[in-house]
Amino acid sequence: MGAAASRPAPRALVDAVEALGGATSAEVLELVDVFARAPPAGDVPVTADDVAALSSRSSRRLRTPSELADAFDLPERVAAVLSRRVPSVDDATGGGGDDDGGDAVPPAGISLADALVHLARCRNCDAAAVEEADALLRAGALVDLATTATTATTADEEEDDDEEEVDARAPPLAALRTLSRARMPGAARRFPSLPATARSLLLPSARASLAPRLRDAAGAPLTTTTGGGRRRASRDVLTRAGAWLLAASIPSSRRRGCAPATWRRVYASADDGAGFSTFVTRITAKTCGPVLVCVRTKAGDVLGGYVSLGAGESVRGDRAEFQGDAGSFVFGFGKAGKKTNNDDEGGGGEVDSADAAAADDASEDADARADDSWTRVGVYPSTGANANHAWCAAGFTSDRFPNGFGFGGVANGAGAGRSAIWIDGTLERGRCVPGIATFAAPMLAGCADRGVESEERRPRGGVPGGDD
pLDDT computed for residue 141 by the predictor: 86
Check pLDDT > 90 for residue 145. no
> How far is 67 from 61, CA to CA, in rounded Å?
9
> How far is 27 from 202, CA to CA, in rounded Å?
9
**Is the model's pTM score more than 0.85?**
no
Model confidence at 319, in pLDDT bands (50, 70, 90)? confident
Which letter, b or e, does each residue of 183-212 get, where b requires 16 or more Cβ atoms within 10 Å of its Cβ? eeeebbbbbbbbbbbbbbbbbbebbbbbbb
Cis ω before 172 (30° cut-off from 0): yes
Candidate from 66-75, 211-220, 309-318, 341-350 with smallest mean pLDDT: 341-350
Check pLDDT > 50 for residue 458. yes
pLDDT computed for residue 331 by the predictor: 96
Which letter, b or e, does each residue of 260-283 get, where b requires 16 or more Cβ atoms within 10 Å of its Cβ? bbbbbbbbbbbebeeebeebbebb
Q: What angle do CA 188, 190, 194 make, to 5 degrees?
A: 45
Check pLDDT > 70 for residue 119. yes
**Around Cβ 284, how many Cβ atoms within 10 Å?**
17
Model confidence at 227, in pLDDT bands (50, 70, 90)? very low
> Which distant-in-sequence residues (6+ apart) come within 8 Å of 375 by Cβ?
442
* Residue type present at position 95: G
Q: Give the percent of the chain with pLDDT over 70.
A: 70
Which one is predicted more confidently, 101 or 222? 222
Say if CB 302 and CB 333 are below 8 A apart: yes
Please give the radius of gyration of the chain, using alpha carbons only, rounded to the nearest integer. Answer: 24
> How far is 211 from 240, CA to CA, in rounded Å?
7
Region 426-432: mean pLDDT is 87
Pairing of β 213-215 and β 390-393: unpaired
Say if CB 47 and CB 2 are below 8 A apart: yes
What are the DSSP calls for 292-336, one per residue? EEEEEETTS-EEEEEE---TT----SEEEEEE--TT-EEEEEE--
* Residue type present at position 219: G
Candidate from 75-89, 164-178, 283-297, 420-434 with smallest mean pLDDT: 164-178
User: The dihedral of CA 68, 69, 70, 72: what is its sign?
Assistant: positive
pLDDT computed for residue 415 by the predictor: 52
Nearest to 115 by CA among 202, 54, 197, 57: 202
Region 85-96: mean pLDDT is 63
CA distances from 455 to 146, 266, 269, 275, 373 (A): 23, 11, 5, 11, 21
Cross-strand bridge partners of residue 214: 263
pLDDT computed for residue 442 by the predictor: 92
> How far is 257 from 341, CA to CA, in rounded Å?
34
Strand (E) or helix (H) holding 153: helix 142-154
